Amino acid sequence: MLSFFTTLPDKGAVPATAARPVFILSFRQRDELAASVALAGWRAVAARRGEGLERRLAASGAAVVVIDARGAVTEGLEAARAIGGSVTAAGRAMLVLVSRNDAGALTDFYDAGATHFLASPMREIELVQALRFADRHARRVSGGWVSEAAAADPLGWRYDHAARSLQLTQALAGAVGLPGGTAPGRALAALDGDVRGLLRDALRRLEAHGTAAFAHDLAGVGRVVQHLQRDARSGRIHALVEPLGSVPDAGAALRDVFPRRSRSIAALAGDLSQALDRGEIEILFQPQVALDTGAIVGVEALSRWHHPRLGEVGAEALLAAAEHGGRSVPLSSYLQNRAFAAAARWPATLAHLRVAVNVAAADIAAPGFVDLLLDRIDTSGLARERVTIEVTEGALIENLAGAASELAVLREAGCRIAIDDFGTGYSSLAYLSALPIDYLKLDRALTRRIVAAPRDRVIVRGVIDMARSLGMAIIAEGVETADQRDALAAEGCAWYQGYLCAPPLDSVALARLVAG
């Protein structure tokens, strides 16, 4: 288990050959790329987001930086330009991965400081050899040493039950005005009642799963999410307190500072059948909020795998493992049944909420898809009118006519249809004219840049105007700051979901939030 309080490396210079870390920034395939790098013998320090990139690179001590710009050329160039100076100054190597269609951008990457590149499709052996070349380049240029900056002091705490000891990091102690060695009882008494209740609920979930998280307002910091983990060996509880908007990728600070355990997709696929039988996969619900009123009007059902060896496995890796092992349909069935059953049991305070579930391409192509899905809804006791079916853009490409027919039947039965991740996939206008769509879900990549990138704001405005003309509404994903929310509202977006409101919650926490 990753421990937030593991001793950090000493400040100063670190031999590049000692731990041989490789820093990876991959916007689309972080887990898969990190697994390949780790299996080749390097220690992968991987990130999916560009925020705080230079600081995280310095803390990693890596001599080789990999920027995976496949399908994300604009983001990749921004990242390369942000760290190009420090890469050159420290004698590092920068390996850029691009799609073959984007090879024309290589000159820009070169100007930004890239030293090596690979164009996909690429074989794993080619990636391994490129890393070897880059590593040798870095050692030759730097003389075998790379400069490591001190990592920023994070907000966090550790509780040792056996010793009845609570330790706060200096940053957290300073933020809340409590000494680092504060007695647990005094620290708990300093919290208001709502936070104490949320913490107790999280600790109960921690007992069952080994990890938990909850969001609240922290005086002196603002809106935060606390990520709790239990060390299986020592029994200690470690918590990372994440200020929303500063490190949007949950757990990024932990993943980027400490060694990463490889999560092979093939190995996960082999574990998936037992995971379904053992009930290791949990259903959580992320609220969807009306921008005009601030009311929570719906939720998206999301999955989280509590792996007995690896800890928490996110939805992206879970779905990739299911696809790799040919178990996408059984997984969808399991997740949908769990989501519908949970929503059907909700108290009256949640009875007005719509419930969105995801379907994969394999689901739509499976014989009897519509009948099976409607039967799951009806068996659970949930009203069809409360269900939204979310389909990822790319899932419809191969059989648009067939998908249109299936989704039309679901819509006539009372369900609503949404296209997920709109704006960064194929973005085919044929979808909008051919399919019975109620909502477009704006991809989080556009949401994230709507404030800082004027061009992206123009794109968002165009998508919203187009959706309105076609009788569709927009749900923005990944909203993490008030500025993003306000910009979306100004452009006419109807709803949003993201950490600004809340992370994915279990039913108990959701009911508490709605009752507010």
CATH of residue 202's domain is 3.30.450
- 265 in any annotated domain: no
What does the pLDDT read at residue 79? 92
What does the pLDDT read at residue 180? 58
For residue 381, is it left (φ>0), alpha (ψ between -120 and 50) or beta? left
What does the pLDDT read at residue 430? 63
What does the pLDDT read at residue 336? 94
Closest by CA position to 147, among listed 8, 12, 258, 9: 12
- 113 in any annotated domain: yes
Helix or strand or coil: residue 239? strand
What does the pLDDT read at residue 7? 28
What does the pLDDT read at residue 285? 96
- 106 in any annotated domain: yes
**Rounded CA Rg of the chain:** 23
What does the pLDDT read at residue 371? 95
Confidence of residue 412 (pLDDT cuts 50, 70, 90): very high
Is residue 33 domain-shared with residue 134, that is, in the same domain?
A: yes
Inform me whether the pLDDT recorded for 367 exceeds 60: yes
Is residue 253 domain-shared with residue 163, that is, in the same domain?
A: yes
**20 φ, ψ (degrees, to nearest 5):** 50, 50
- 104 in any annotated domain: yes
**Tally of domains in the chain:** 3
The most confident of 152-166, 355-369, 417-431, by mean pLDDT = 355-369
Contact between 143 and 28 (Cβ < 8 Å): no
Confidence of residue 258 (pLDDT cuts 50, 70, 90): very low
Is residue 223 domain-shared with residue 286, that is, in the same domain?
A: no
What does the pLDDT read at residue 257? 36
Is residue 226 domain-shared with residue 189, that is, in the same domain?
A: yes
Which whole-number Å values give the CA distances from 403 to 98, 323, 369, 430, in the listed order? Answer: 32, 19, 10, 12
Is residue 298 domain-shared with residue 426, that is, in the same domain?
A: yes
The CATH number of whichever domain residue 95 belongs to comes to: 3.40.50.2300
Is residue 293 domain-shared with residue 247, that is, in the same domain?
A: no
What does the pLDDT read at residue 181? 60
Specify the range with the lowest mean pLDDT, choosing from 21-30, 286-295, 424-433, 487-496: 424-433
Confidence of residue 169 (pLDDT cuts 50, 70, 90): confident
Specify the range with the lowest mean pLDDT, choosing from 138-147, 332-341, 378-387: 138-147
Helix or strand or coil: residue 457? helix
Is residue 426 domain-shared with residue 505, that is, in the same domain?
A: yes
- 262 in any annotated domain: no
Inform me whether the pLDDT recorded for 5 exceeds 50: no
- Token code pair at residue 97: 């991965």
Which whole-number Å values give the CA distances from 412 to 53, 370, 384, 415, in the listed order? Answer: 48, 11, 10, 7
- 398 in any annotated domain: yes
Which whole-number Å values give the CA distances from 60 to 19, 26, 44, 257, in the listed order? Answer: 10, 16, 10, 6
The CATH number of whichever domain residue 403 belongs to comes to: 3.20.20.450
What does the pLDDT read at residue 386? 97
Specify the range with the lowest mean pLDDT, choosing from 62-76, 261-275, 337-351: 261-275
Give the model confidence (pLDDT) of 374-403 as tens digits: 999 999 999 999 999 998 755 555 667 788
Is residue 358 domain-shared with residue 447, that is, in the same domain?
A: yes
Rounded to an integer, the average pLDDT of 195-200 is 82
Cis upstream peptide for 308 (omega within 30°): no
Q: What is the pTM of this model?
A: 0.53
What does the pLDDT read at residue 453? 76
Closest by CA position to 33, among listed 48, 18, 20: 48
Is residue 285 domain-shared with residue 364, that is, in the same domain?
A: yes
Is residue 139 domain-shared with residue 40, that is, in the same domain?
A: yes
| Exposed / middle / buried, residue 395 (Cβ in 10 Å: 0-12, 13-18, 19+) | buried
Which ranges in 357-492 belong to alpha helices (H)? 361-365, 369-380, 400-412, 429-434, 444-449, 454-469, 482-490
Inform me whether the pLDDT recorded for 221 exceeds 50: yes
Is residue 142 domain-shared with residue 177, that is, in the same domain?
A: no
Closest by CA position to 262, among listed 30, 465, 490: 30
Rounded to an integer, the average pLDDT of 247-275 is 57
Please tell me what DSSP assigns to residue 324. H
| Exposed / middle / buried, residue 24 (Cβ in 10 Å: 0-12, 13-18, 19+) | buried
Is residue 144 domain-shared with residue 164, that is, in the same domain?
A: no
Q: What residues contact residue 469 under an 8 Å CB cut-off, 6+ apart?
A: none
Inform me whether the pLDDT recorded for 3 exceeds 60: no
Residue at a domain's end among 93, 124, 148: 148
Rounded to an integer, the average pLDDT of 481-494 is 92
**Residue 385: domain span:** 278-515
Rounded to an integer, the average pLDDT of 444-472 is 85
Rounded to an integer, the average pLDDT of 480-491 is 91
Rounded to an integer, the average pLDDT of 144-148 is 47
Tell me how far apart the alpha carbons of residues 23 and 16 are, in angstroms, rounded to a whole number. 12
Confidence of residue 443 (pLDDT cuts 50, 70, 90): confident
- 321 in any annotated domain: yes
Dihedral angle of Cα 458, 460, 465, 466, to the nearest 10 degrees: 110
Residue at a domain's end among 99, 128, 148: 148
Give the residue carrying structure tokens 């009118």: 385
The most confident of 11-15, 50-54, 256-260, 405-409, by mean pLDDT = 405-409
What does the pLDDT read at residue 249? 43
Q: What residues contact residue 380 under an 8 Å CB cut-off, 6+ apart?
A: 337, 340, 341, 343, 344
Sign of the CA dihedral with 422 first, then 425, 431, and 435 last: negative
Residue at a domain's end among 132, 148, 164: 148
- 140 in any annotated domain: yes
177 or 134, which is more confident? 134
The most confident of 99-103, 264-268, 407-411, by mean pLDDT = 407-411
Tell me how far apart the alpha carbons of residues 357 and 359 are, in angstroms, rounded to a whole number. 7
What does the pLDDT read at residue 246? 42
Contact between 95 and 135 (Cβ < 8 Å): no
